[in-house]
Structure 1
Amino acid sequence: MGVKTVFEFRLKEVDEELGKEEINLTSLKSVCFHGIPDEQGRRSLCWRLMLNYLPCSKASWSKILTKKRKLYGQFIDEMIGMPGPENINDNSRVDVTFDDHPLSLNPESEWQTYFKDNDVLLQIDKDVRRLCPDISFFQQPTDYPCQDVVNSGGTKRLHRRVQHSFLNSANVERKGLGITKIALAVKKATEDYAPMEEGSEAHWEVVERILFLYAKLNPGQGYVQGMNEIIGPIYYSFATDPNPEWREFAEADCFFCFTNLMSEIRDFFIKTLDDAESGIKRLMARLSAELKLHDPPVFQRLQQQDLHIQYYSFRWLTLLLSQEFPLPDVLRIWDSLFADEKRFSFLISICCAMIIVLRDQLLASDFPTNVKMLQNFPPMDIQVVLSKAAELAGHQSEKLIR
């Protein structure tokens, strides 16, 4: 079967599932696992369904979407901006005789919360300004800026709250939770992620707002570095939907889909749950066991070199491979991950396949070369990796298409 014919066949399969008034989620996942043809926004719609944002009954979509998007608007209205009366702006005088004011030491002070939030916001601001630097998308203006923010006179522009001239600390308080350090690949953008002029905003500014609201609404976890890499592909998929009716609400829909995804992988980001069944240490142990099962010589070679699995797989697993491949490949990988009925078991198979496809180089190279190769996975046709992963997991590899 030719590539074009396979593509058309897969397109027909997806359309048949999406065309039903009552969508069978199991059947949809079975089709999406082998790749979603990204035509007319099919991927973003399938992701909304597989991330449990949209219900299976199409008849309830309108009501659910209206309710969720209105709720997100309320979050912006209540949580973005400065404390105090609505008429306070950057040039206003604040009456410090009020019970709550910027110099208040009261731990329940809204101003105290505001300044603590800025410490978290500073880290978010730094992280979103380096999202997917190999493409210019996040530096570009969105067609649908949040009017409540861009017309606020600057009082609700988050990046203004954390300009370096006003903040001296970049520490993020995590209350004992979250990753102590995550080795992110450092990539430099060819252009600066500059804020847009009043009346418009860049895509990275939208992502910054989503992450800030998520941190505010989840104080037990807050924001942890790396979440920006998780939300990036979701927002990109939604904000590039060719259907303007879906694209207009990419921000709100992305927020809820990201929240749902984080509820499933939050244990990856919580140190106290590292040893839990769903914790990151247990995932790395499963990967090690799968490598030992499927390729004992490579497993033994890495053991002999003391090249421990956490040296390279910690980032792979925690960030769902979002740092290891170009964005188009990440989107394809996530089609399978979101469709995985065993929820991220296939992630282990992909990571194992990544090691096995490098077996000749790994067996022939020394420790420094191998650790560098695994920490900076070489460019490769993602189809090769996915086909090998499907073979390891027992799926029909020939069905895995782009």
Structure 2
Amino acid sequence: MTSYQERVKQFDKILYSDGKIDLKSLKEKSYRGIPEGNGRRSLTWRILLGYLPLDRDSWSTVVEQKRALYKQFVDEIIVQNPEANSPVIEDHPLNPNPNSNWQNFFKDNEVLLQIDKDVRRLYPDISFFSQPCEFPNQIVGSGIDRLHHRVNQSQLEVQSSSRKGFGPSLLYSAPKKKGGEDYAPLTKGDEAHWEVVERILFIYAKLNPGQGYVQGMNEIIGPIYYVFATDSNTEWREHAEADCFFCFTNLMSDIRDFFIKTLDDSPTGIRMLMVRLDKMLESADSAVHNVLQTQGIKMPYFAFRWLSLMLSQEFSLPDVLSLWDALLTDDTRCDLLMDVCIAMLKLIRNELLTNDFATNMKLLQNYPGIDIMAILEQAKSSKT
């Protein structure tokens, strides 16, 4: 038996044996990368993201309740659309009342504009998100307008709902579709994967009005949805949308401070995390730290995107999945992430020490294709 086969055997024993999941062992095995196939990654992420309890016997009850709850969200927020279906005679587009149906319409439209733009550019190098999903939501074909059809771009002035403070230029490399074209229309009754992600994000925004949708959340949900929607297990794959919603919600509850500007200076705010990362770099590699300081390369220039998007834009999707196998084992959602960022800097230290400002900026904002396991090993060795 090869070492890989032995690792698969050990992983399956943890994941599929009777009794409760040994979470410590599952995390240890996941850090090295979850073996492909047999729905291992999909199931493990559901556990690591707090959707599935450790007691296997309760899984069927939990998923039945959660999926029914998500259906209720879809019915109330997408199908019934109370704001649109309860017109008030005295209401009008200039009504300043925050409870005005028109005000709600404008707010929803603004959020949808941003979500619609962002989900269409998810991993443009692969065709997955533009392809029709195998199990379209029940509302497709029911006469209910799809969300992207509700976006009224001709009558509203677009106001970006991106996170203010550092700006979208630091979040995105803004990839474009080849040739600049939009996604091709699908056959009637089909819906693309990006439409499913759009619905999840809109429902999340409506249920979390204090935070709403912030540019970059699409990059957080993208890997989760991809893993669930490509599960080899048909039953899990069929409910990818509902399960993804709750896993994304759980993850966002852990990292929500990354996306709220008023919490930048809190211990878990993004600004303080960058200050902490800067101090970690100074301690771990003073030579690299000094070069960045001398050249005027500040942490927000690259680390804001690294941290807030959990490195989801720095690597290809397969590498992101392997990286998140490890990152999701960290309950803090940031300690291991920061160790990985330091490891990434260490692995390109020779280039950083010899390059000029422009070349270093390009290197940091377009990180080279270094093996993910090498990065994780570097992060692990630095802690021992």
The separation in 2 between residues aligned to 1:30 and 1:385, in whole angstroms, is 16
Aligned residues: percent identity? 54
Give the C-alpha shift of residue 342 in structure 1: 4.5
Give the C-alpha shift of residue 178 in structure 1: 5.8
Match of 1:162 among 147, 151, 165: 151
Give the C-alpha shift of residue 274 in structure 1: 1.0
Match of 2:244 among 254, 264, 279: 254
Match of 2:167 among 165, 181, 201: 181
Equivalent in the alignment of 2:32:
34
Equivalent in the alignment of 1:397:
none
Equivalent in the alignment of 1:303:
293
Q: Structure 1 unaligned segments of length 5 or more: list them.
A: 89-93, 395-402
Contact 1:179 1:270 in 2 (8 A): no
Equivalent in the alignment of 1:16:
13
Cα distance change on mapping 1:180 and 1:296 into 2, 3 Å: closer
* TM-score, normalising length: structure 2: 0.92
Matches within 5 A, 1:65-214: 65-81=63-79, 83=81, 99=89, 103=93, 105=95, 106-148=97-139, 150-153=140-143, 155-165=144-154, 167-172=155-160, 181-182=167-168, 183=170, 184-190=172-178, 192-214=182-204
Contact 2:302 2:365 in 1 (8 A): yes
Give a deviation string over 1:322-379, Cα, whole Å, max 9, x none.
0000000000110111112443311111111111111111111111111111011122
Give a deviation string over 1:198-249, Cα, whole Å, max 9, x none.
3110000000000000000000000000000000000000000011000000
The separation in 2 between residues aligned to 1:344 and 1:20, in whole angstroms, is 32
Equivalent in the alignment of 1:398:
none
Moved over 4 A (4+): 81-86, 100-104, 177-180
Give the C-alpha shift of residue 6 in structure 1: 3.0
**What amino acid is aligned across from residue 164 of structure 1 in structure 2?**
Q
Question: Size of the alignment, in residue pairs?
Answer: 378
Please state whether the residue corresponding to 1:379 is helix, strand or coil: coil
Structure 1 residue 314 corresponds to structure 2 residue 300: no
- Greater shift after overlay, 272-281 or 325-334? 272-281
Equivalent in the alignment of 1:91:
none
**What amino acid is aligned across from residue 117 of structure 1 in structure 2?**
D
Pairwise CA RMSD: 2.2
Matches within 5 A, 1:317-332: 317-332=307-322
**What amino acid is aligned across from residue 359 of structure 2 in structure 1?**
T
The separation in 2 between residues aligned to 1:125 and 1:241, in whole angstroms, is 25
Match of 2:359 among 347, 365, 369: 369
The separation in 2 between residues aligned to 1:43 and 1:85, in whole angstroms, is 39
The separation in 2 between residues aligned to 1:388 and 1:65, in whole angstroms, is 37
Contact 2:32 2:373 in 1 (8 A): no
Contact 1:82 1:156 in 2 (8 A): no
Give a deviation string over 1:24-43, Cα, whole Å, max 9, x none.
22221122122111211100
The separation in 2 between residues aligned to 1:123 and 1:44, in whole angstroms, is 28
The separation in 1 between residues aligned to 2:7 and 2:344, in whole angstroms, is 25
Give the C-alpha shift of residue 110 in structure 1: 3.3
Match of 2:60 among 62, 65, 90: 62
Give a deviation string over 1:41-90, Cα, whole Å, max 9, x none.
1001000001000111111111110110011001111101475699x8xx
Equivalent in the alignment of 2:47:
49
Contact 2:206 2:212 in 1 (8 A): yes
- Greater shift after overlay, 120-129 or 294-303? 294-303
